[in-house]
Chain A
Amino acid sequence: MIWSSWNDFWAMGGYGLYVWGSFGVTALCVALEMVWVKNARAQALTQIAHELVAETNSKEWS
């Protein structure tokens, strides 16, 4: 283990802002992308379900 304390780890020898700014934004983008992708799937399923129901309804009524 190269860090003598947790404080040292977070401080990153003075470069904390830059290192954690990089890792943080990367993690954020990854998380956002995962949410985005999940939403896209949910939207797709909702849209298809709506259209199918509308189709079957229109077939029943005709």
Chain B
Amino acid sequence: MIQKLFFYASPQNFYPLAGKLWPLFACLATGLTVWGLWLGMFVAPTDFQQGQGYRIIFVHVPVSWMSMVIYLAMAFWALLGLTFNTRLSGMMTKALAPTGAIFAFLSLWTGALWGKPMWGAWWVWDARLTSELILFFLYLGHIALTNAIDDPRRADKAGGILALVGALNVPVIYFSVKWWNTLHQGASVSLTKGSSMAQVMLEAMLIMGVAFWMYAVAMALYRVRSIILVRERHTQWVAELPEVKAQMMKNAAGGAKA
């Protein structure tokens, strides 16, 4: 088992594995989305307090969860990379970041669209929304740092440390914002309905959560393949890939036409 793991730690071996896996995750994501949206939009009843507006939770909660899960995944790969000095770990962190940032943005966007009809304001300094905003900044900072450094190995390691420092800080930031919020008599409405949520609503929300998770994995696997190609472009195995050879022929044909 451990040997299998080390086998796939090499980009050359991971590339075809990711190639086989991402369509599976994409299918799962599509299927679960259809099921979740069916339940959420066509089966779940109207909410007593919030009318039809509550249905936003079927995207808001999943993207919020995932924005945090992805950050933890990035920290995990960062830890792996810094401990074992593997190249693939840095590539995985880089592959995960954009999806996480998009989810953090969507969490803020859908949160605002939920807040406006419910609380009357586009933005409230609720502890969770504020923490989400800070998480969004952490994502942007990570992407900015890894893009600013030219040397890929240094970028990976620096990004790794930043991801770890950020991950350790996220609980601290969350609790400090929570403290800050309660002392200032913030909104007493919670964003989740708690245990009073109807069974179907909870089910749909969870299914959508898993759907977004599968989507994030599919995106990360697809993206890491492109990263691997670029990083490993000077190797023999990349030169012999069928897609590379096909591209070379396409270029040649294009050139011949010109």
Which residues of chain A have a CB within 8 Å of any CB of chain B? 1-3, 9, 12-15, 18-19, 21-23, 25-26, 29-30, 33-34, 36-37, 40-41, 43-53
Which residues of chain A are near B63, meaning CB under 8 Å? 26
25 A-B interface contacts by CB (under 8 A) = A12-B52, A12-B55, A13-B46, A15-B117, A18-B53, A18-B113, A21-B113, A22-B60, A22-B113, A25-B110, A26-B106, A26-B110, A30-B215, A33-B99, A36-B98, A37-B226, A41-B222, A46-B247, A48-B230, A48-B244, A49-B248, A50-B251, A52-B239, A53-B248, A53-B252
Q: Chain B's nearest CB lies how many Å from the CB of A37? A: 5
A14, closest chain B residue (CB): B51
Q: How far is the CB of B38 from chain A (nearest CB, A)?
A: 11
Dominant secondary structure of chain A at its interface with chain B: helix
Contacts of A3 in B (CB 8 A): 42
Q: How far is the CA of A1 from the CA of B56 in the complex (A)?
A: 19
Which residue in B55, B229, B230, B250 is a CB contact (below 8 Å) of A19?
Answer: B55
B59 at the interface (CB under 8 A from A): yes
- The CA of A51 and the CA of B44, in the complex, are separated in Å by 55
| B128 interface hit (Cβ, 8 Å) | no
Chain B interface size range? 35 or more
Interface residues of B (CB under 8 A from A): 41-46, 51-53, 55-56, 59-60, 63, 98-99, 102, 105-106, 109-110, 113-114, 116-117, 215, 219, 222-223, 225-226, 229-230, 233, 238-239, 243-244, 247-248, 250-252
